A and B are shown apart, each in its own frame.
Chain A
Amino acid sequence: MPHQQVKFYQTGTLTVGNRLLDKAQRTVQATMDRSNSLDSGHRACQGCGEALGARYAIDAAMRATDNQLIAANATGCLEVFTTPYPESAWRIPWMHSLFGNAPSVATGIAAALRVKGRQDVRVIAQGGDGGTTDIGFGALSGMFERNDDVLYICYDNQAYMNTGVQRSSATPGSARTATTMPLGAEPGAEFDKGKNVPLIAMAHGIPYVATASVDRLHDLEAKVEKAMSIRGARYIQVFVPCPLGWGSKPADTVKVARLAVESGLYPLFEAEYGELTSATKIRRKVPVADYLRLQRRFAHTLKSETQLARLQAVADNNIRRFGLIDEQGD
């Protein structure tokens, strides 16, 4: 995203006040003519990170495409809480088909638009981490490999929330889910399992891959906008806390997301054609315990030095691997 030197942060947050930015750089949500693509009245839980992320992402995509957008949605929370028939919170052409086929449906939409000469209309596919990293993974890889003109957005809340918080391949080590209970010698999800889909997306050599987090929505908007300026397969994975599944306070959603980034557990980066092009620096590194403490899914880790150390090692490894902290400091 374009950076502007600013001196004033909102108290305690390091968030730049929107009013301090140039008009062109202000959030889409600050404009009166925003599309409200995901309208109010939907049935997401209080503090839902996915609803927040989707609203910012889709409105940004709408601005970037001059409101010429069609979305395909995988089965999951986002689908269920937005479209309980006969209501729909979507103010864009939107389609839900199945859990595992959103990337393919989006490919079909893009193909139809191409054959009809409507290349001004752009296509987004979206789903949760279960729909993306597990059941829809084959379809996602196919869409990437063909370099179809689709932006796929994965809202990553690290488990199957819609079905009642079961483990997915995006669930981090030690996390409690309904299928990885904090029992036995190694409580919670096992370490050294799961997959890193942004890195796998990069391995497909697609034009654009990014990770984002709902603690910095402006950054998310900028990444979506950038993605929409590119043709071909693109992938953005957004970190979206789930108060219900994580046992965090609804009011803490943004705080939890920020601590995930600032601890190094959720590295934010961009890549083009398989090459890392930028990584968001951590401004004030925090110990992982600060992040874990706000979530009941990690409660047992605070009592286990081994687990705590392993989680800290994951964060430190991310910091080293993606260069999240400058040697000289900020």
Chain B
Amino acid sequence: MLKQIEGSQGIAQAVARCRPEVICAYPITPQTHIVEDLGAMVKSGSLTDCEFINVESEFAALSVAIGSSATGARSYTATASQGLLYMAEAVYNASGLGLPIVMTVGNRAIGAPINIWNDQSDSMSMRDAGWIQLFAETNQEALDLHIQAFRIAETLSIPVMVCVDGFILTHAYERMDIPQQEQVDRFLPPFVPRQVLDPADPISMGAMVGPEAFTEVRYLAHHKQMQALELIPEIAEEFKSIFGRDSGGLISNYRTDDAETIIVTLGSVIGTISEVIDTLRDQGQKIGAISLRCYRPFPKEVLREALQACQRVVVFEKCLAVGMGGIVAANVRMSIRGLNLPVYTVIGGLGGRPITRKSLAELFAKAMKDDLDETTFLDIKCDIVERELAREQAHTRSGGAAENILREVGVVDAAKTA
């Protein structure tokens, strides 16, 4: 059924059709609308056989899901940014215990300075926590990925994080195809836990494991993610056969045939990038893009194959490994090791800075001439950075960098006169 609704509402409706049994909610922008909608469904009785729990922190949100999943209930929660960091210990714990929880992350920057807008630093901080990470390009895909996420999680008994760009997707009103309950039921069978807390068959979960077995346990976690590389495309195929849509899988290609320059990215920015590519293609440039729909496990082989015929790779990412550069780029470099391809890292969209077609067109033009630094910060205002560095050089007590820069760009004056 086609509906013009907010991305968060679409995600909530998809989650509801997955028949979740326990939903834990703690408010953090920009994921709030998702759990609000689910809460209303439970309260009104339109979503039955489901416990909706308002908890006191994100740490509790995921911990409650750990308890309910271990007791055999299909469990869901959502978070973002600081919330994901606050529950970090439980994020690792859920995957270590092999609990197939599904969690939405409404991607948002991490402070300080506090910032509520979109980038992907939050999900990236948990990239090695043992969760499968799927990134949505559009709201339709965000919706579809949640349905696939439960299936993937429960097949492998590991948790899945569905990463959805905050505001850009979560708060955008778009036309979405909301699947029928009957279709979802056909695709997603009831949850059969691999192990469950049950007085009829008592087990101990979460025992202490020493050096004699810890490596094997960790290896198995890795092995399961390698299995996921096979499973995720299969599940995407099956999804297509029931729902008639191409969603999910490991990567998606956009006009990469014969492309000499390939942009690798993840999330919603592929929309803007595709438009720029269309323009450049019209001008006869051989350029295309690849979107990583699955970041963990990292689709090394598939990506290598997709990149091996091109001449250069530009990795566009909304996150930063401080002191290193690109996070995604490091993974991309690993997957094309030995191919002797230049890989340019572009960091853009941090803390919600708009990624414009104009900036991208200029960037790609330079990239196609191999006229890019190894790491580029898109649209960075170098003069402001220089002046702050000079202030720090001149005064020991130069004040907070963030506040100084806000003053410099005029935000402080604007607020005074407002």
Chain A, range 64-91, C-beta contacts under 8 Å to B: 67-70, 72-73, 79-80, 83-86, 88, 90-91
In the complex, what residues of B have CB within 8 A of residue A96's CB? 204-207
Q: How far is the CA of A88 from the CA of B213 in the complex (A)?
A: 16
Q: Which A residues lie at the B interface, using CB under 8 A? A: 67-70, 72-73, 79-80, 83-86, 88, 90-98, 100-101, 104-116, 121, 138-139, 141-142, 145-146
- Residues of A close to B63: CB separation below 8 A: 97-98, 101, 104-105, 108, 139
5 A-B residue pairs with CB within 8 Å = A90-B204, A104-B63, A105-B64, A109-B68, A146-B53
Q: Are A105 and B207 in contact (CB under 8 A)?
A: no
Q: Mark B190-205, 1 if CB is under 8 A from A, else 0.
A: 0000000111011111
Contacts of A94 in B (CB 8 A): 197, 202-205
Q: Is the CB of B202 within 8 A of A91?
A: yes
Q: In the assembly, what is the distance between CA of A68 and CA of B53, in Å?
A: 24
Within the complex, the shortest CB–CB distance from B209 to chain A, in Å, comes to 5
* Interface-central residue, A68, A73, A91, A101, by most chain B CB under 10 Å: A101
Per CB-CB distance, the 9 closest pairs between chain A and chain B, nearest first, are: A108-B67, A142-B56, A104-B63, A112-B71, A96-B206, A112-B73, A101-B63, A105-B67, A108-B68
Q: CA of A191 to CA of B269 in the docked complex: distance in angstroms?
A: 58
A70-B204 in contact given A95-B197, A112-B22, A115-B49 (Cβ < 8 Å): no
CB <8 Å contact, B21 and A85: no
For A115, what are the chain B residues with a Cβ–Cβ distance below 8 Å?
21-22, 49-51, 73
Tell me the bound Cα distance from A85 to B205 in angstroms: 10
- Contact assessment for A85 and B93 in the assembled complex, using a CB-CB cutoff below 8 Å: no
Q: Which residues of A contact B66 (CB under 8 A)?
A: 97, 101, 104-105, 108
**A100 engages B59 (CB within 8 Å):** yes
A-B contact sample (11 more), CB < 8 A, given A85-B210, A93-B201:
A85-B208, A85-B209, A85-B213, A94-B197, A96-B205, A96-B207, A98-B89, A104-B59, A116-B73, A139-B59, A142-B55
Q: Is the CB of B97 within 8 A of A97?
A: yes
CB distance from B59 to the nearest CB of A (A): 6
Give the distance in Å from the alpha carbon of A141 to the alpha carbon of B158 in the complex.
30
User: Quick one: which of A86, A116, A142 contacts B21, CB cutoff 8 A?
Assistant: A116
CB pair A142–B22 under 8 Å, yes or no, is no
For A95, A105, A121, the residue with the greatest tally of chain B CB atoms inside 10 Å of its CB is A105
Tell me the bound Cα distance from A67 to B199 in angstroms. 7
B115 within 8 A of A: no
Total A-B residue contacts, Cβ distance less than 8 Å: 157
Distance A95 CA – B59 CA, assembled complex (angstroms)? 17
Return A276 CB to nearest CB of chain B, in Å: 26
Whole-angstrom distance between the Cβ of B129 and the nearest chain A Cβ? 14
**Contact residues, B68-101 vs A (CB, 8 A):** 68-73, 75, 89-90, 93, 97
Q: Contacts A121-B199, A138-B56 given: A95-B208 contact, CB under 8 Å?
A: no
Residue in contact with B70 in the complex, picked from A67, A109, A114, CB distance below 8 Å: A109
| CB closest residue in chain A, given B73 | A112
Contacts of A98 in B (CB 8 A): 63, 89-90, 93
B68 pairs with A111, CB closer than 8 A: yes
User: Which residues from chain A contact B65 at a C-beta distance below 8 Å?
Assistant: 108
- Whether B309 is near chain A, meaning CB under 8 Å from some CB there, is no
Q: Report the Cα distance A162→B75, complex, angstroms.
A: 32
A106 with B67, Cβ < 8 A, contacts A79-B208, A115-B51 known: yes
A138 vs B66: C-alpha distance in the bound complex, in angstroms?
17
Complex Cα distance, B198 from A72, in Å, reads 13
Complex CA–CA separation, A129 to B156 (angstroms): 37
Q: Does B368 contact A (CB under 8 A)?
A: no
Of listed A83, A93, A114, A138, residue having the most chain B CB within 10 A: A93
Question: How close is B32's CB to chain A, nearest CB, in angstroms?
Answer: 18
Give, as a whole number of angstroms, the nearest-CB distance from A77 to chain B: 12
Q: Provide the residues of chain B in CB contact with A93, threshold 8 Å.
A: 197-199, 201-203
B57 part of interface (Cβ distance < 8 Å): yes
**B221 CB–A CB distance under 8 Å:** no
Contact of A72 among B50, B53, B67, B203 (CB under 8 A): B67
Q: Given A108-B69, A116-B72, A116-B73, decide whether A83 and B202 contact each other with a Cβ distance below 8 A.
A: no
| B405 beta carbon closer than 8 Å to chain A | no
A84 to B56, CA, bound (A): 32
User: A178 to nearest B CB, angstroms?
Assistant: 22
